[in-house]
Amino acid sequence: MLLGLSKIIDCPGATVDFSTSVDLSDLLYGTCYPVSEPVLASGTVRNTAGVLVMQGEIRTCIHGVCDRCASDFQQDVEFPIDVVLVRELANEENEDEWVFPLEGDNANLEEIVRTVFVLNMDSKLLCKPDCEGLCCRCGKNLNDGPCSCQKEIDPRLAALRQLLK
Ligand SMILES: [Zn+2]
Ligand SMILES: [Zn+2]
65 CA distance to ligand 2 middle (Å)? 21
d(CA 21, ligand 1 centre) in Å: 29
Distance from residue 64's CA to the centre of ligand 2 (Å): 24
Chunked mean pLDDT (size 10), the chain, 165 residues? 94 97 94 94 96 97 94 96 87 71 95 95 91 93 88 65 69
Q: How far is the CA of 36 from the centre of ligand 1 (A)?
A: 19
Q: Ligand 1 center to residue 142 CA distance, Å? A: 9
Note the pLDDT of residue 125: 92
pLDDT of residue 120: 94
Q: Tell me if residue 114 falls in helix, strand or coil.
A: helix
Alpha helices in the chain (DSSP H): 109-120, 155-164
Residue 82 CA to ligand 1 center (angstroms) comes to 31
pLDDT of the residue at 157? 67
Provide the pLDDT for residue 139: 92
pLDDT at 162: 72
Residue 69 near residue 141 (C-beta atoms within 8 A): yes
Cα 42 to averaged position of ligand 1 atoms, centre (Å): 31
Distance CA 24, CA 33 (A): 9
Q: What are the CB-based long-range contacts (under 8 Å, 24+) for 68-72?
A: 68/126, 68/127, 68/131, 68/132, 68/133, 68/134, 69/127, 69/131, 69/132, 69/133, 69/134, 69/141, 69/142, 69/143, 70/134, 71/127, 71/141, 71/143
Q: What local confidence, expressed as pLDDT, does residue 148 receive?
A: 87
Supply the pTM of this predicted model: 0.81
- What pLDDT shows up at residue 105? 95
